[in-house]
Structure 1
Amino acid sequence: MTDFFTAPGGFYRGNLHTHSTLSDGALEPKEVCRRYRDEGYDFISLTDHFLGRYGWPIADTEPYRKPGFTTVLGAELHSGAQANGELWHILAVGLPAGFEPPATQEFFATADQETGPELAARAVAAGAHVSIAHPQWSGLTLDDARSLEAAHAVETYNHGCAMGADRPDGFHTLDLLLAEGRRLNLVATDDAHFTEPDHFGGWVMVKAAENDPDALVESLKAGTYYSSQGPELRNIVVTDDEIVVESSSVVSMIVQAQGNTAKAVHGLSMTRSSIELHKFAASPWVRVTVIDAAGKRAWSNPIWLD
């Protein structure tokens, strides 16, 4: 269940949700890539809004790759109306440059557009890793989320939505879908536009054989990563009796499960903590949160106990 902590390869820090002047961001693609590289990231995906008003951009970021830093092609896709009438936002990382655009010109839905679920399915078929973007910010309903059957993950922390709207969350959506048996993972992202302090606040740590776009996308699809605002998850071991978590120094470790089931351990400078599993016997899955002394969190993907 957590074999990727000991599997061959390394952890690579990346941001999966970023914008530039190719859509509504403030910085040129080259400068966006430079800033993430110089902040210590190993990769980013520049995911500009895939709309007709911007020429349906899938940014060619290959020229900005450097030794130790790579980029993954991607876009934020839009088509069709959610239940609230607003346009779908779908995060697609690993999208091919020739992906066929939907008939979406502006930031609103029209009757001639394909649905969001149809667009997500096309993106997955084209090889992309797809996430349900910022559910809280979008006002996504559970029925909306259910309909996006092709998704690999839910964007559970969006730093731009935290800073600009105080609506960063997707954990409620994720947990409801997990309770219905959907085997989805989670991602933390920036959604950086560089128009406010919306950058360097949430990322993924991907375990891959190499820092290569194809290897990173395959690891994202396989769920061999965790998400963070700062703390490091170093190992998670699940036995018949307990779950043991090794991390950088934290003050809380929390295990969540189906419904309202959760258990926390608190302390000072904890780097190894454990919780007995009997409390979670009725849940088919658990997930882990660690919190450091500054209030920054790291999150595991759901761990299925079968």
Structure 2
Amino acid sequence: MRAFSIPVIVTCLNLFFVLSCTQKTSQEESGKNWYKGNLHTHSYWSDGDEFPEVIMKWYKDQGYQFVALSDHNVFQEGEKWKAIRADSLYRNAFQNYLSEYGEDWVEYVQEEEELKVKLKTFEEYGPLYEEKEKFIMIPAQEITADFEGKPLHLNLTNLERLITPMEGGSVVEVLQNNINAVLEQRKASGKPMMVHINHPNFIWAITLEDMIRLKGERFFEVYNGHPAVHNLGDSTRIGYEAMWDFINIAYLEKGQPLIFGLATDDSHNYHKQGAKFSNAGRGWVVVEADSLAPDTMVEALERGDFYSTTGVELEKLSYSNNVLEVAALPKEGVNYTLEFIGCKEGEKDTQVLKTVEGNAGSFEVSADLLFVRCKITSSEPQHNPVENMKNQLAWTQPVRPE
């Protein structure tokens, strides 16, 4: 990973992650930029409760640069009609949709109490919001499989074509067969694409032992904004952050690459807000890349050139000459705690190697360490949190001694 410095937001420019024009940044020198995005989102095409173009407008208006609309086992193509619930909340939302986009755009049929709307395809709604170096949509699918009633979900990002969920004789076999299907599609197409494991603790479907046995998996969700996925585990089962470390210890023992941790929304509910609903804006990634395009986003994610967050913004993140440097964007009245977490050679668990009370800190990654990552905790509360995760957090990706 190269050294880089994350620029500060300048509101007057109405751009995200742009530094004052009087200050030279390493992005300007290297040609790299930072892009905010969500890799797990749902719409009326599966079990979300809003039209895709409305969802994309919300994300773009909120300063996101990319979104992967990952509906369950479907891509937004072909003809699909959606019956709109009779509930006034959803009928009023439809009227707003109709007013915003107009009769020439919205195709619908209403007979007495029944209202059906023809959903727009990716090719139709994409041009409304895609804008060079400002906003893109990445084709995606949530591969939705199961084994003996356990939901086994994986996201395919930057897909070439839909994947029919693969079956198998165990949780691991089902997951591995679907991972392999993505890797095979990638090889055949020559197109960068990635697969990640979604919310392992959802209905306690995927255990740590299952995750450790997988091959070719490079990502999983260290944070998911759905209220039913048990980010923190429970009294007998570990949460995602601990799972992440144990997986990486096991992977390195087997000679496999490190697995990276994503923060995602997994948004479904766009009209009702609160801890009981799966809302947008809870978790995202910030990616360093030389341009805003689906292929470059995937390639940068695979290099680990990103951090995951539920609200904390970083102004500096670098790893050079075995020194990991992290700085959160200072905010008046907001305090930060930086924890550098790692595992020593020969040990089976991670520990907090250094704690910094303040917005900035560094850590030298010595040769006797397997890996080190940084967790940043803010005193600022997360907007609309789930579980007991009240404070804003960020996670850097693990790095190894060079």
Q: Please confirm whether the aligned pair reaches a TM-score higher than 0.5, indicating the same fold.
A: yes
Q: Paired residue for 1:262? A: 352
Task: Look up the equivalent residue of 1:193 and give its one-letter code.
Answer: H
Q: Paired residue for 1:99? A: 162
Cα separation, 2, equivalents of 1:237 and 1:227: 16
Distance verdict in 2 for CA 1:171–1:138, change over 3 Å: farther
Distance verdict in 2 for CA 1:305–1:276, change over 3 Å: closer
Matched, 1:285 2:371: yes
Task: Look up the equivalent residue of 1:255 and give its one-letter code.
Answer: F
Cα separation, 2, equivalents of 1:263 and 1:3: 22
Contact preservation (8 Å) 1:4, 1:224: no
**Identity percentage over the alignment?**
25
SS at match of 1:49: coil
Matched, 1:71 2:137: yes
Q: How many residues align?
A: 287
Cα separation, 2, equivalents of 1:142 and 1:164: 18
SS at match of 1:246: strand
Matched, 1:220 2:301: yes
Cα separation, 1, equivalents of 2:379 and 2:306: 23
Contact preservation (8 Å) 2:142, 2:155: yes
Q: Paired residue for 1:299? A: 395
Distance verdict in 2 for CA 1:243–1:11, change over 3 Å: closer
Matched, 1:142 2:213: no
Cα separation, 1, equivalents of 2:325 and 2:231: 31
Cα separation, 1, equivalents of 2:324 and 2:247: 23
Q: Select the residue among 158, 165, 183 that pairs with 2:224.
A: 158
Cα separation, 1, equivalents of 2:295 and 2:365: 36
Q: Paired residue for 1:186? A: 261
**TM-score between the two structures when normalised by the length of structure 2:** 0.64
Any residues of structure 2 matched to 1:1-306 within 5 Å, and which?
1-3=1-3, 5=5, 6=26, 7-50=30-73, 60=122, 62-67=126-131, 68-81=134-147, 85-96=149-160, 98-102=161-165, 115-127=174-186, 128-139=193-204, 140-160=206-226, 163-164=227-228, 166-167=230-231, 169-180=239-250, 181=252, 182=256, 183-194=258-269, 196=277, 198-233=279-314, 234-237=316-319, 239=321, 243-249=324-330, 250-258=335-343, 259-267=349-357, 270-275=358-363, 277=365, 282-294=368-380, 295-306=391-402
Contact preservation (8 Å) 2:196, 2:221: yes
Distance verdict in 2 for CA 1:100–1:3, change over 3 Å: same
Contact preservation (8 Å) 1:76, 1:90: yes
Task: Give the superposition deviation at 1:63.
Answer: 3.2
Cα separation, 1, equivalents of 2:137 and 2:211: 28
Could you tell me which runs of 5 or more consecutive residues in structure 2 were left unpaired when the two chains were aligned: 6-25, 81-120, 187-192, 233-238, 344-348, 381-390
Task: Give the superposition deviation at 1:147.
Answer: 3.4
Cα separation, 2, equivalents of 1:29 and 1:62: 9
Task: Look up the equivalent residue of 1:157 and give its one-letter code.
Answer: Y
Deviations 1:258-306 (Å, cap 9, x if unpaired)?
2132134343xx332234556xx64210011111221211111111114
Task: Look up the equivalent residue of 2:351 and give its one-letter code.
Answer: T
Task: Look up the equivalent residue of 2:144 and give its one-letter code.
Answer: H
Contact preservation (8 Å) 1:33, 1:64: no
Contact preservation (8 Å) 1:252, 1:264: no
Contact preservation (8 Å) 2:245, 2:350: no
Cα root mean square deviation, aligned: 2.8
Deviations 1:69-123 (Å, cap 9, x if unpaired)?
1100111112352xx7513111111111x2342368xxxx999xx8221111211
Structure 1 residues 222-231 or 59-68, which shifts more?
59-68
Task: Give the superposition deviation at 1:243.
Answer: 3.8
Contact preservation (8 Å) 2:166, 2:178: no
Distance verdict in 2 for CA 1:272–1:50, change over 3 Å: same
Distance verdict in 2 for CA 1:252–1:238, change over 3 Å: farther
Cα separation, 2, equivalents of 1:305 and 1:231: 26
Task: Give the superposition deviation at 1:23.
Answer: 0.6
Structure 1 residues 71-80 or 39-48, which shifts more?
71-80
Task: Give the superposition deviation at 1:138.
Answer: 4.6
Task: Look up the equivalent residue of 2:185 and give its one-letter code.
Answer: A
Structure 1 residues 295-304 or 61-70, which shifts more?
61-70
SS at match of 1:303: coil
Task: Give the superposition deviation at 1:124.
Answer: 2.7
Task: Give the superposition deviation at 1:218.
Answer: 1.6
Task: Give the superposition deviation at 1:33.
Answer: 0.7
